[in-house]
Chain A
Amino acid sequence: METVLSDIFAVESIRQDFPILNQTVHGKPLVYFDNAATTQKPRPVIEALAQYYEQFNANIHRGIHTLAERATAEYEATRDKAREFINAAHREEIVFTRGTTEGINLVAQTYGRQVLKPGDEVIISGMEHHSNIVPWQMICEQTGAKLRVIPVTDSGEIILEEYEKLLSEKTKIVAVVYVSNSLGTINPVREIIEKAHAYGAKVLLDGAQASAHLDIDVQSLDADFYVFSSHKVYGPTGVGVLYGKRELLEAMPPYQGGGEMIKDVSFEKTTYNELPYKFEAGTPNIADTVAFKAALDYVTAIGKPAVGEYEHDLLTYATGAMQEIDGLRIVGQAKEKISVVSFVMDGIHHQDIGIILDTQGIAVRTGHHCTQPLMNRFGILGTSRASFAMYNTREEIDRLVRGLHKVKKMMN
């Protein structure tokens, strides 16, 4: 099985595409296991960025000169690619943002502000990132709506029966994470959406962690809103996508005012531009958006099913090997997981784990992962988290395991 997998999945040649991986940290070859925070960038993405600035940097959409036309075409080509990547029905349903966080804030402050009335309810889950908690708390405070939270099991799974009990005619918005950043849990979003729609509520999916690992089909899921970030899908930082169903986006008021989002401006009245430009005020992050396409092309060329299968093998291998370590406990043991292993070690603070692993050249993330309510749920202050991407290997997991044995030796 292993040989078959590695035959199909050419991880060594993929690693060659990521120049950053070829370096030593504290004298040891880098093992990068902080992919849930941000993924590294393949050479085509880095080259696309340089090419943009070297060959066709210009402000987009209203220029009539050649460079402006080229920049506009490339920028809009990313929109087409992003539409295809999540299988949206229409290109104007793809709104570029700064990232997942901005996408959620946009929906909360436009759609949320429009529909929420005092007494209405917004449902989130107990495993949300702070980015999918705070924007809803803010809009609830502003509108008098109430925030309800779906509880989570000990294994780190949403309790669907409790979700059903929370749903009512008062529910207007359900905002849940597709894949938990802290635990790796893949949530049953199809069911969550179906049940919400039965009450006429709209659903926003936080796709930040899901998009690099799972095949995303917003039409098949029937998601009303789907948000994700480029930098977690091997693309540049500072760009994200908000998908919204066309009829919803059309009915929503604009988010920010400024250039680009207008049709006509006079001091008496301004009319707004059509979709998606109504939500893209000001000069956007052109360079990073253009290079984002190279990232999506790269992932598509390798193929997410192949990536998913390979990463699943890494997850199974890591889970088995890490469970063997005495005193180590994996936090988040859902049946459906992406390649994330969050763990605690008896009597050892996660910060100490992170520092000692770093001296071995191994990068993991430690802390509460911006999910403090979830950490409280498990009665811990934080975890150490190893998250794997398509360029990681079993050999690197072996190094992590050896590193963790070293942590134990040094700390005891």
Chain B
Amino acid sequence: MTINETQDEIIEEFSLFDDWEEKYEYIIDIGKKLPPLQEQFKTEDNIIKGCQSRVWLHADRDDEKVLFAGDSDAVIVKGLIALLIRVLSGHTAEEIARADLYFIDRIGMKQHLAQTRANGLLAMLKQMKLYAVAYSTMSK
């Protein structure tokens, strides 16, 4: 599945929800289901600076593909991480770097990307792209 196909799938899923509560119930649910990041990857280097919750992001490579894993001490952020991982993980560095993540706006979660310092989602997205750019330069 391409990045955009996954995004469209998520948009489709969210279109079933009537209100904010249902959306967040779903995000909380997938947040709880995201496998916890192994303790050895919860390092200072992997921490994304957000003001309110701690967020860790770890990147790995499998041939051409970049694999992401993440975690947070807050559940809703963890659910958002799970969505980002579902969309971006397993794609090539170039695909990730070029990805236009329109699904965040379409599922009504754009406020989580605001510059409020309230959470590290924007920083996390940047970090995922940075990893991708770094990997693609390395392979050239």
Contact = CB atoms under 8 A, between A and B. Distances in A.
Interface in B14-71: 19-21, 24-25, 28, 51-54
A356 interface: yes
Nearest to A355: B76
B74 A351 contact: yes
A359 B52 contact: no
Interface size class of B (residues with CB under 8 A): 10 to 19
A27 B118 contact: no
Contacts of A355: 24, 76
A411 B75 contact: yes
A352 B20 contact: no
B13 interface: no
Interface string A44-63: 00000000000000000000
Contact of B52 (A27, A351, A410): A351
Contacts of A348: 75
Interface bin, chain A: 10 to 19
A293 interface: no
Contacts of B53: 349, 351
- The listed residue with most A CB atoms (<10 A of its CB), out of B25, B51, B76, B119, is B76
Interface string A343-370: 0000011111011100100000011000
Nearest to A406: B21
A410 B119 contact: no
Contact of A382 (B19, B20, B28, B52): B52
Interface string B87-122: 000000000000000000000000000000011000
A26 B21 CA distance: 10
Contacts of B20: 26, 359
B26 to A, nearest CB: 11
Nearest to B32: A411
B84 interface: no
B128 interface: no
21 contacts: A348-B75, A349-B73, A349-B74, A349-B75, A350-B52, A351-B53, A351-B76, A351-B77, A351-B118, A351-B119, A352-B28, A352-B75, A352-B76, A354-B52, A355-B24, A356-B24, A359-B19, A410-B24, A410-B25, A410-B28, A411-B75
Interface of B: 19-21, 24-25, 28, 51-54, 73-77, 118-119
Sort A-B residue pairs by CB-CB distance and give the 8 closest, nearest first: A349-B74, A359-B20, A351-B74, A351-B52, A351-B53, A367-B52, A352-B76, A26-B20
Interface of A: 26-27, 348-352, 354-356, 359, 366-367, 381-382, 406, 410-411
Given A351-B53, A354-B118, A366-B52, 16 more contacts: A26-B20, A349-B53, A349-B74, A350-B52, A351-B118, A351-B119, A352-B75, A355-B76, A356-B24, A356-B76, A359-B20, A359-B21, A381-B54, A382-B52, A410-B28, A411-B28
